[in-house]
Chain A
Amino acid sequence: MLDRLTEFFFPKQVSTFASDIDNLYFFIFYSSVALFFIVVFGMVYLAVKYRHKKGEELKLTSSKDHSNLLESLFFIIPLILVSITFVWGIRSYLKMVIVPDDAIEIKVTGQSWFWTFDYPDGGTTLNELVVPSNQPIKLVLSSKDVLHSFFIPVMRSKMDALPNRYNVMWFDATQEGVYDIFCTEYCGTGHSQMGAKVIVMKPAQYEEWANELGSDDDSIPLDELGAKLYTKKACNTCHTLDGSSLVGPSYLQTSQMWGQERVFDDGTSTVIDENYIRSSILEPQTQIVAGYQSVMPTYQGLLNDRELDALIAFLKSLNEDSQI
C-alpha cells in the first residue's frame, strides 16, 4: 500500500537516503491530513449547526470566546508534530550533507545551457553523468556564468551551482538505470531545455566505460560520430534537425544553405563552408546570425579536431539526407 502511494507521489527511489525523505514526507502528510480534516470538519460542522435559520430572530449570542483546554491542545499538538518534523528534517538532512570518505569525486560545471562532467581519471562528458551503482558519488558543483541548480529527482537531491564558489552534494545510487536531471535555478532562454541524464551502471560496466572514455569514437565514420556528438555535446539543446529554430538556427537550415551567403546581425555576411562552421563552434560570439541572440558558449577545449570534423560532416550530411 505504502509502496503504491510512494509511486503515486514520487519518482523512483534510487539513492540510499530517498526512502528516508519519502517517509518524512508521509509523516508530515498524514499529520497534515489529520489537522486539515479537523479544520474542515470543524468549520463545516459549526457553520451548518449554527446557521441562521429562516425566520429565526436575531438574538444575543454566547459570550464564550476562549477555552483554556482547547487552546492548549491547539498549541501543544501542532507543537509536538512540528518538533518531530523539525528533528526528522535535520537528521535526514545531515545524512545528505555528510559525504562518505570513499566517495568518487566528479566535477560538475553548469553553463548556459548544458552540464559538463569531469571524471577523476580524466575524461569529460556533456549532459550525461555516468556513475557506478552502490558507490557513494560526490559532486562538486560550480557554474561558468549565471546561477544553475542541479536536481536529480530520483536521488531526492539538489544543489545550486554558483559561479564563485563550490557546492557539494552526494548520493549513492541503489539501482541501475537512466534518470532525469533538471536545472532548477532559472538561467534564461534555455532554462527549460537544460536537462541531462544520470546513467547508473553496474560497477564493472562503469570500469569498462571509464577506461574507454576519451579513447572511443576513433573507429566509426565521421558523420555517425557527428550524430552522436550532436546529442552528447548538447548541441540539440539549441539547434534542431527539422528546420525549426530554437535558441539557435537549425542545422538543417544551415546545411541546406551550404555554399550560400549567410547574413549576420551587424550586416556583414559570409559563405557557409567548413571554416565558417568551425569558427561558429569555437568562436560563436564573433558572428551572430541575424535574428538570433549572442548566447552560445565557446566549445574551445570541449571538442578535439576529429570531433569538429565529425560535426561538420554530420551537418553536411543532413542536406543530402533531406534530398533523398
Chain B
Amino acid sequence: MSENIKQNYLNHPKGLMSWLLTLDHKRIGLMYLVSGILFFFLGGLLALVMRMELAAPGNDFISNDTYNNVYTLHGAIMIFLFIIPAIPGALGNILLPLMVGAKDVAFPRLNLASFYIYSFGALFAMYTIINGGVDTGWTFYTPYSTQSTSNVVPMTLGIFIIGFSSILTGLNFIATVHKMRIPGLTWYKLPLFVWALYGTSLVQITATPVLAITMVLLMLERFLGIGIFDPALGGDPVLYQHFFWFYSHPAVYIMILPAFGIISEIIPVHSRKKIWGYKFIAYSTLSIAFIGFLVWGHHMFTSGQSVFSQIVFSFITYFVGIPTGVKIFSWILTMYKGQVSFTPPMLYALSFLFLFTIGGLTGIFLGAVALDIHLHDTYFVVAHFHYVMQGGTIVAFLGGLHHWWPKSFGVMYNQTIAKICAFGVFLGFNGTFFPQFLLGLRGMPRRYATYSEEFVELHSYSTFWSGILGISIFIAIMNLFWSFIKKNKVDPGSNPWGGMTLEWTHTSSPPHPHNFEEEPVLEHGPYDYDKVIVEKTYK
C-alpha cells in the first residue's frame, strides 16, 4: 500500500511523451485545465482593454476598429475556447470516471483525440489574432460576416473544428455514465455533478452539429457565392439568426449545467447535509436541457418575426425559469440543519447563489416581449448574460477548482488568500456589471466603442471595478498554481472537506494512475450525511 500510494497519475509514468500521448482522463483533464485557463486570461485581458476604452467617451484609448476586434475576440475566446470546452473538459474529465468508480472514460483514445481536435481548432483562433483579428462579433451575423474583410473564415473554421471536440467529449461522457458505473451505483445514487455532465453531453451531441452546419454554410457562401444568408445573393439573414441561435441558446445550457452540477456537490459537502430535492435537481437538469432547445427565438424579438412566434417563444422561455428557480431554493434549503463551514469553495457557492439569482431574475425581464423591445441589444443584456456566465458559470468553476484542487493534484492552496479573493471576485463582479443594468435601461446600446456624455458616470464606475475583478481572479488562480510550486502537499489519504462521493472516499490524493487500487464497493449514497460521519482529514 505505502509503495503504491506514492505512485499517482502525476508522477507515473514520467516523461513528456507520457503526457502528450496519455490516455489517462486525469492528465487529459489537466491539459484542458491549463489551456482553458490560458484562454481565460487572454479573454479577460481583452475584457480589460474594452473597459479601458469605455472608461471615458470618445476614442481615447483604441480606435473603433480595434475595439470591434477586441470585443469579438473576447466573446469568441471566452465562449468557444474557455467555457464550453474547458469546464466539461477539465473538471468533467478529471472527476467523471472517479465519481462513477471507473478506471477511465469509456473511450480513452477518443478522449485524447477530443483534446487534440480542440487544440487544433484553437490554433485557427490564434492564427486569427496574429493575422489581424475578426470584427463581426462572436455571433457572426450575416450579411456583415459575409462581407467583412477580417478573418471570418479562420475563426469560423476554428469554431467548426472545436465543435467536433465538443461532440466527441459528449459522446464519451454519455457512454461512460451508461456503461462504466460500478455495480450498485444506480442512477439515483449518482452524484449530481454526473447528472449535470450527462445533461450537458446530451445538449453537446444534439446542438453542436447545427453550429457546424451553420459555419459550413457561412463558408460556402463566402467561398462559392452560394446565396444562403446574404440577400445580395438571394439569401436571408434572418435564417442565419435562426440557425445560429438554435445552437447558441442550448449552448447557454452547455455552459451553465456543469456549474449547477458543481454547486450541487459543493453545498452538501460543505454543509454536511443531505442535498434537498435530489430527484428534482436531477430531472430539472434534463428538462432544462430539453426546453433549452425551444426558446432560441427570444434572441430575435426585434428581428421582425411574426407576432405569433414572439408570443410562443416568450411563453416557453418562462418554462426554463421556473425549474431553475426551484433549484436555487433547493440549494439554499440544503443548509437547513447542516453544519456549514465557510471554506473557499463554499464562499464561491454562496456567491454563485447570489449572482446567479440576479442573472436568472433579469432573464424574466428580457422574456417579457414588450420590455425586451426596449432592452434588446443594450447593456441590460450584457449585464444579464455576464451575471449568468461569469457570476454563474465562472464563479462555480472557481468554486469547483478550489473544492477539488487537493483531490486532483494532492496540494492545498493558501485558504486565507483564497477567501479574500472570493470576496474580491464577488465585489468586483457586482461593481462591474450591476451599473450595466442601469446603462441598458437608460438606453446605452451594446458593442459601442464610444458613447454620449450621459453614460460616463456609470461606465467609469464599471471600469474601476473591473480592475478589482481582474486582479482578484488572477490572484485566486495564481494562489492555486502556487501550491504546486510550494509543494504544499496534502496527505494522500486526506479528505479535507469530508466528501462522500467515491473520489473522496476510495482513492488517494492525487489519485492512483488507474484511479482505484481495486474496484470500489459502494457503501453509501453521495450525500448520506444523515447516515455516516465522514471525518475531515487534512495533512
Measured CB to CB, the residues of A under 8 A from B are 9-11, 17, 20-21, 24-25, 28-29, 32, 35-36, 39-40, 42-43, 46-47, 50-52, 56, 58-67, 70-71, 74-75, 78-79, 82, 85-86, 88-97, 145-147, 149, 151, 153, 156-160, 162-165, 167, 180, 182-193, 195, 247
Contact = CB atoms under 8 A, between A and B. Distances in A.
Contacts of B329: 39, 42, 70-71, 74
Contact of A65 (B278, B371, B536): B278
Interface in B256-303: 271-278, 280, 302-303
Interface string B356-388: 011001101101111111101110000000000
Given A58-B535, A186-B144, 19 more contacts: A11-B442, A32-B364, A35-B361, A39-B357, A43-B350, A47-B350, A59-B533, A64-B274, A65-B274, A65-B276, A78-B321, A86-B318, A90-B311, A93-B310, A146-B144, A183-B445, A184-B445, A186-B136, A192-B450
A39 B329 CA distance: 7
Interface in B133-165: 135-137, 141, 143-144, 147-148
A94 B304 CA distance: 14
Contacts of B315: 86
A96 B373 contact: yes
B257 to A, nearest CB: 20
A188 B336 contact: no
A10 B440 CA distance: 9
Given A46-B336, A182-B443, A163 B237 contact: yes
Contacts of B531: 60, 63
Pick the 7 closest A-B CB pairs, nearest first.
Answer: A153-B443, A89-B368, A164-B231, A92-B370, A63-B530, A62-B337, A192-B448
A51 B364 CA distance: 33
A46 B332 contact: yes
Interface stretch (B115-123, B339-347, B513-521): B339-347
A298 to B, nearest CB: 16
Contact of A159 (B148, B278, B302, B332): B302
A99 to B, nearest CB: 12
B463 to A, nearest CB: 16
Contacts, number: 266
Interface string B51-81: 0000000000000110010000000000000
B498 A32 contact: no
B28 interface: no
B16 interface: no
Given A61-B530, A160-B302, A74 B326 contact: yes
Contacts of B238: 162, 165
A184 B353 contact: no
Given A42-B332, A47-B350, A24 B65 contact: no
Interface string B295-338: 00000001110010011001100100110011011001111111
A5 to B, nearest CB: 11
9 contacts: A25-B365, A65-B274, A89-B368, A89-B372, A95-B370, A147-B143, A153-B443, A159-B304, A180-B452
B367 A9 contact: no
A60 B527 CA distance: 11
A90 B336 contact: no
Contacts of B442: 9-11, 153
A25 B498 contact: no
